[in-house]
């Protein structure tokens, strides 16, 4: 069986360095907000080009803390793509604000920026741009709208470590950005982890404080805060893996390019890259100039008989996953939305299938996946 993503294999490639980093951290006797934490915050902020970073417990907390630090809550609305992972919405709901859903475009699966303006009301405070599956949202249009209506732009970068939009890194494309280091993400820890990035010093100070019980100094609290920290052991592992992120993303890019060139099946729709995502050679090594970039957290195909394709691939020893089988507005957790209609989002949730696309796959596996898909008949 070719597994969808073998996390053991992925981490094994850097095992020696990871072991050393973990050992170093254990031996330091300091496990929270220590040296590894500080250096990873600095390294990741430098990598993305932002001034400030706060390591937190997970990606959902990163989003939640950004919204809370801006003071958005009851009575406020935040624009969120209808087609995303549920955490994007939960972060808004947990602050008491209302997520206002906007349909994606069927080519990129990201929020359709041309449908945002009609959802903006006097209560709207921010637009959450989710870079789904590893492709950045259309940030020029989103930022122009935000400027026009005086809204904040919050990036959900949980699927877009190392993604680039017009030469600028994801995480540095809006007012504040949230990352997840869940083990399966492009940059994954050995456990949960997350980070907020921003260039706004006062937002940074407030989030740092909120995430540490609401205090700047030990035992002196200015907010009713939370405990949300990235552990030093995770930070140490992430410091190792960050060095290889570009290389890993390039391998994903290579695999995706092979699929996009060689999968030829009239029943299957391949993912597309939005025209704005043009590579700059400096940040992407051997991706040539003018080539469109995407970090391929997921390689998502679409087909009318999705369950049949999944069964066929499984019978042929290829594991696939569905991201995601039920649209957020159809979830029991959001009963109040169950009668709303988002036809493009629903179509995507009914038709998508994610095929293996990660740096631990061999060329032979990629070839086998391609050939098997090419032999599929509806």
Q: Which of 25, 83, 88, 360 binds ligand PLP (CB under 6 A)?
A: 88
Choose between 135 and 303: whose C-beta lies nearer to ligand PLP: 135
Q: Which residues neighbour 332 within 8 Å (Cβ) at sequence distance 6 or greater?
A: none
Q: Minimal distance in Å, beta carbon 41 to ligand PLP?
A: 16
Q: Which of 95, 110, 124, 159 binds ligand PLP (CB under 6 A)?
A: 159
Q: Which of 103, 156, 248, 351 binds ligand PLP (CB under 6 A)?
A: 156
Q: Minimal distance in Å, beta carbon 176 to ligand PLP?
A: 14
What are the angstrom distances between the C-alpha of 357 and each of 83, 109, 259, 296? 21, 18, 9, 7
| Interacting span for ligand PLP (CB under 6 A) from 24-32, 67-75, 152-160, 195-203 | 152-160
CA 321 to chain centre: 17
Structure tokens at 46: 């430098």
Q: How far apart are CA 103 and CA 350, in angstroms?
A: 15
Q: Does 155 bind ligand PLP (CB under 6 A)?
A: no
Q: Minimal distance in Å, beta carbon 166 to ligand PLP?
A: 21
Phi, psi (degrees; rounded to nearest 5) at 231: -75, 155
- State the first-to-last Cα distance of the chain, in angstroms, to the nearest integer: 22
Q: Minimal distance in Å, beta carbon 180 to ligand PLP?
A: 3
Q: How far apart are CA 77 and CA 94, in angstroms?
A: 13
361-368 CB contacts, 8 Å cutoff, 24+ apart: 361/2, 361/255, 365/2, 366/255, 366/258, 366/259, 368/2, 368/318
Q: What is the bridge-based pairing of β-strands 98-102 and 77-81?
A: parallel
Q: Which of 22, 87, 127, 327 binds ligand PLP (CB under 6 A)?
A: 87
Q: Minimal distance in Å, beta carbon 61 to ligand PLP?
A: 7
Q: Which of 11, 25, 50, 58 binds ligand PLP (CB under 6 A)?
A: 58
Q: Which of 55, 81, 104, 194 binds ligand PLP (CB under 6 A)?
A: 194
Contacts with ligand PLP by CB under 6 A: the residue count is 15
Q: How far apart are CA 77 and CA 156, in angstroms?
A: 17
Q: Minimal distance in Å, beta carbon 140 to ligand PLP?
A: 21
Q: Does 11 bind ligand PLP (CB under 6 A)?
A: no
DSSP of 93-152: HHTT-EEEEEPBPTTT-SB-GGGTGGG--TTEEEEEEE-GGG----HHHHHHHHHHHT-E
Q: Minimal distance in Å, beta carbon 323 to ligand PLP?
A: 8
Q: Minimal distance in Å, beta carbon 238 to ligand PLP?
A: 13
Q: Minimal distance in Å, beta carbon 266 to ligand PLP?
A: 31
At residue 195, the 3 state secondary structure works out as: strand
Q: Which of 52, 72, 182, 312 binds ligand PLP (CB under 6 A)?
A: 182
Q: Which of 110, 112, 136, 180 binds ligand PLP (CB under 6 A)?
A: 180
Residues 59-78 that bind ligand PLP (CB under 6 A): 59-60
Q: How far apart are CA 359 and CA 184, in angstroms?
A: 12
Q: Looking at beta carbons, which residue is closest to ligand PLP? A: 59
Q: How far apart are CA 240 and CA 23, in angstroms?
A: 13
Mask: binding to ligand PLP, 96-135, rule CB under 6 A, as x and -?
----------------------------------x-----
* Contact of 2 with 369, CB cutoff 8 Å: yes
Q: Which of 47, 52, 70, 85 binds ligand PLP (CB under 6 A)?
A: 85
Q: How far apart are CA 156 and CA 158, in angstroms?
A: 6
Choose between 234 and 366: whose C-beta lies nearer to ligand PLP: 234
Structure tokens at 228: 């949300």
Q: Does 84 bind ligand PLP (CB under 6 A)?
A: yes
The contact set with ligand PLP (CB under 6 A) reads 58-60, 84-85, 87-88, 130, 156, 158-159, 180, 182, 192, 194
């Amino acid at each position: 069986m070719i597994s969808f993503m073998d996390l053991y294999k992925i981490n094994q490639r850097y095992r020696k360095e990871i072991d050393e980093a973990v050992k170093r951290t254990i031996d330091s006797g300091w496990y929270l907000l220590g040296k590894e934490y500080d250096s990873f915050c600095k390294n990741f902020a430098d990598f993305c080009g932002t001034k400030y970073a706060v390591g937190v417990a997970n990606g959902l907390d990163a989003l939640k803390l950004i919204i809370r630090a801006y003071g958005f809550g009851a009575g406020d609305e935040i624009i969120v793509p209808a087609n995303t992972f549920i955490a994007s919405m939960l972060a808004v709901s947990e602050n008491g604000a209302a997520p206002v859903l906007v349909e994606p475009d069927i080519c990129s699966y990201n929020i359709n920026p041309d449908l945002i303006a009609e959802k903006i009301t006097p209560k709207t405070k921010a637009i959450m741009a989710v870079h789904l599956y590893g492709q950045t949202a259309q940030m020029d249009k989103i930022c122009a709208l935000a400027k026009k209506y005086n809204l904040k732009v919050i990036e959900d970068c949980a699927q877009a470590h190392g993604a680039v939009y017009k030469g600028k890194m994801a995480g540095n494309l809006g007012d504040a950005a949230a990352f997840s280091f869940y083990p399966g993400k492009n940059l994954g820890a050995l456990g949960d982890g997350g980070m907020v990035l921003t260039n706004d010093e006062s937002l940074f100070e407030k989030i740092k404080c909120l995430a540490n019980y609401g205090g700047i100094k030990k035992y002196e609290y200015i907010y009713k805060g939370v405990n949300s920290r990235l552990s030093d052991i995770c930070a140490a592992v992430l410091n190792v893996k960050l060095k290889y992120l570009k290389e890993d993303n390039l391998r994903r890019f290579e695999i995706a390019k092979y699929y996009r060139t060689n999968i030829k099946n009239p029943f299957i729709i391949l993912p597309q890259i939005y025209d704005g995502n043009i590579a700059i050679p400096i940040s992407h090594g051997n991706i040539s100039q003018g080539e469109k970039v995407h970090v391929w957290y997921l390689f998502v195909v679409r087909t009318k008989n999705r369950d049949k394709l999944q069964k066929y691939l499984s019978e042929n020893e290829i594991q696939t996953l569905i991201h995601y089988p039920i649209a957020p507005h159809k979830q029991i957790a959001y009963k109040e939305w169950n009668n709303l209609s988002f036809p493009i989002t629903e179509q995507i949730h009914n038709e998508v299938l994610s095929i293996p696309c990660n740096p631990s796959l061999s060329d032979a596996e990629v070839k086998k996946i391609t050939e098997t898909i090419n032999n599929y008949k509806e």
